[in-house]
Amino acid sequence: MKTVQDYIRTIVDFPHEGIMFRDVTTLFADPRGFRIAVDQMLHPYAGLEIDKVVGLEARGFILGGAIAHQLSVGFVPIRKKGKLPGATISQAYTLEYGEAIVEVHDDAIKAGEKILLVDDLLATGGTAEAGIKLVERLGGEIISCAFVIDLPDLGGRKRLEAMGMDVHALCAFDGD
């Protein structure tokens, strides 16, 4: 039987030489692979109270929307700066070569709501940390952070766990 990891393609030297890019588009394109991923991402949260799923741009939208649908809860996108039409709050975070900013609508999450944060990949944890900070600024409570892939050598899981976050990933790849 195939695992989620079997559906993920590795592209060597993308986007830069020396990078092993873990491509989840092959997972999403396969109906069985996509179903396995969504079902396995949901499994740890069976029976837990979740009010909304938050997805990080962009592949977190694909997973987060499917997971929110299965849970019959709302979905909230966290987007790159300037992409949301309403009033937003912003959070900056550092990238390998600079800084980026993500935003969420300022009315997307109500105080006390229980939130599942979702993305495809956990690398350094910078984007996830920014998303967590946005949710918490709105009064939401992150119950867990769920990813398809963890790149443990880059330290994202440790970073999020040091913030007190529960972290779940379907598979891990050594290296970056």
Per-residue pLDDT tens digits of the chain, which is 176 residues long: 899 999 999 999 998 899 999 999 999 999 999 999 999 999 999 999 999 999 999 999 999 999 999 999 999 999 999 999 999 999 999 977 789 999 999 999 999 999 999 999 999 999 999 999 999 999 999 999 999 999 999 999 999 999 999 999 999 998 75
pTM of the model: 0.96
Per-residue pLDDT at 97: 73
Range of the domain at 66: 47-172
What residues are paired with 122 via a beta bridge?
150
CA 134 to chain centroid, in Å, comes to 14
Domain membership flag for residue 4: no
Residues assigned a catalytic role: 59, 96
The enclosing H or E element of 149 equals: strand 141-150
Domain membership flag for residue 119: yes
Per-residue pLDDT at 156: 97
Domain membership flag for residue 18: no
Query: Domain count of the chain?
Result: 1
Per-residue pLDDT at 175: 72
Domain membership flag for residue 31: no
Where do the H-state alpha helices sit in 3-149?
25-29, 31-42, 59-71, 126-137
Domain membership flag for residue 116: yes
Domain membership flag for residue 34: no
The enclosing H or E element of 162 equals: helix 156-162
Per-residue pLDDT at 3: 96
Per-residue pLDDT at 176: 58
Domain membership flag for residue 7: no
The CATH code of the domain that includes 163 is 3.40.50.2020
Domain membership flag for residue 9: no
DSSP helix, strand, coil percent of the chain (3-state; round to 5): 35, 35, 30
Residue type, 102: V
Say how far apart CA 115 and CA 50 lie, in whole Å. Answer: 6
